[in-house]
């Protein structure tokens, strides 16, 4: 079974530029999560999708971050414009139905550096 | 504020020794607690999940315990191996259906 795929693996941009990350979850998984992990910290949930609907985006900085999952499969996370403090690893995870007892499967992450 | 704390931030242990990783949380009314492993350049791997009604969970050489009254969980690793070297993260569902992560303990097993 293929795992969660993310691209690109690394990205370096200058502040005020825009950037987009892509995630392909495990086949058949209805729930998709985007997390932000700043160096030295644990991951923080940015947004959770159930199929193509948003379940929780309470911690997403909506003035600059956006995410979509149009067909309930792949997802993209965009930052526009980027700030220095957005430097972090962006992790995508998926689970079968989003039940709290389920395992979340994580991708390798995209490491973003904003200069 | 609901917080998860992991101390120490880093730990080095000789191969073969048993070890304990600590996690503390501020609110005892949790739904469940999970332990994850993170290898450099990779995502997280779920190790053990403990429901609020449980006291411990075991998987191979790993044993996780939960004491809600004291706001603590421990991850016990028996007979440590170099392959156990990784960062171990504790995450708590405080009843809000999202995981709050600690900052992790970076474990190094010395051959």
* Closest residue by Cα to residue A86 from A46, A33, A55, A47: A46
Output the pLDDT for position B41.
82
Q: How far is A61 from chain B (nearest CA, A)?
A: 17
Please answer whether residues B63 and B53 qualify as being in contact, where contact means their C-beta atoms are separated by less than 8 angstroms: no
Q: Do A101 and B103 touch (CB under 8 A)?
A: no
Q: Does B76 touch chain A (CB under 8 A)?
A: no
Token output for A93: 């995870």
Please answer whether residues A80 and A107 qualify as being in contact, where contact means their C-beta atoms are separated by less than 8 angstroms: no
Output the pLDDT for position B96.
84
How many of the other CB atoms lie within 10 Å of CB of A74?
15
Contacts of A101 in chain B (CB under 8 A): 32, 49, 51
Output the pLDDT for position B62.
98
Q: How far is B31 from chain A (nearest CA, A)?
A: 9
Q: Do B101 and A91 touch (CB under 8 A)?
A: no
Output the pLDDT for position A99.
85
Output the pLDDT for position A1.
64
Token output for A98: 């989003």
Distance CA B23, CA B14 (A): 22
Q: How far is A78 from chain B (nearest CA, A)?
A: 20
Q: Does B4 touch chain A (CB under 8 A)?
A: yes
Interface contacts (A, B; CB < 8 Å) = 50
Residue partners of A68: CB distance under 8 A and separation at least 6: A75, A76
For chain B, which residues score pLDDT lower than 50?
Answer: none
Burial (Cβ within 10 Å: 0-12, 13-18, ≥19) of residue B66: buried
Output the pLDDT for position A71.
87
What backbone phi and psi angles, to 5 degrees, belong to B84? -80, -10
Output the pLDDT for position B42.
85
Contacts of A44 in chain B (CB under 8 A): 101
Distance CA B45, CA B41 (A): 12
Secondary structure of chain B: what % helix, strand, coil (to 5)?
Answer: 5, 55, 40
For chain A, which residues score pLDDT lower than 50?
Answer: none
Distance CA B19, CA A50 (A): 38
Q: How far is A37 from chain B (nearest CA, A)?
A: 10
Q: Which of B43, B49, B103 sits opposite A101 (nearest CB)?
A: B49
């Amino acid at each position: 079974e293929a795992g969660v795929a993310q691209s690109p693996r690394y990205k370096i941009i200058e502040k005020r530029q825009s950037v987009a990350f892509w995630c392909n979850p495990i086949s058949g998984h209805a729930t998709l999560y985007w997390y932000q992990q700043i160096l030295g910290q644990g991951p923080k949930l940015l947004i959770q999708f159930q199929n193509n609907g948003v379940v929780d985006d309470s911690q997403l900085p909506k003035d600059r971050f956006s995410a979509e999952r149009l067909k309930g499969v792949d997802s993209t996370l965009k930052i526009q414009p980027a700030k220095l403090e957005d430097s972090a690893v962006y992790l995508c995870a998926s689970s079968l139905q989003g039940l709290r007892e389920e395992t979340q499967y994580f991708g390798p992450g995209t490491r973003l550096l904003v200069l | 504020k609901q917080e998860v704390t992991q101390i120490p931030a880093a730990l080095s242990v000789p191969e073969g020794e048993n070890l304990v990783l600590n996690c503390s949380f501020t609110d005892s009314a949790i739904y469940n607690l999970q332990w994850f492993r993170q290898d450099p350049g990779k995502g997280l791997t779920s190790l053990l999940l403990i429901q609020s009604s449980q006291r411990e969970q075991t998987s191979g050489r790993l044993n996780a315990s939960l004491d809600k009254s004291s706001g603590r969980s421990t991850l016990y690793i028996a007979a440590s191996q170099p392959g156990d070297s990784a960062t171990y993260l504790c995450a708590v569902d405080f009843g809000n259906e999202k995981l709050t992560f600690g900052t992790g303990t970076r474990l190094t097993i010395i051959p």
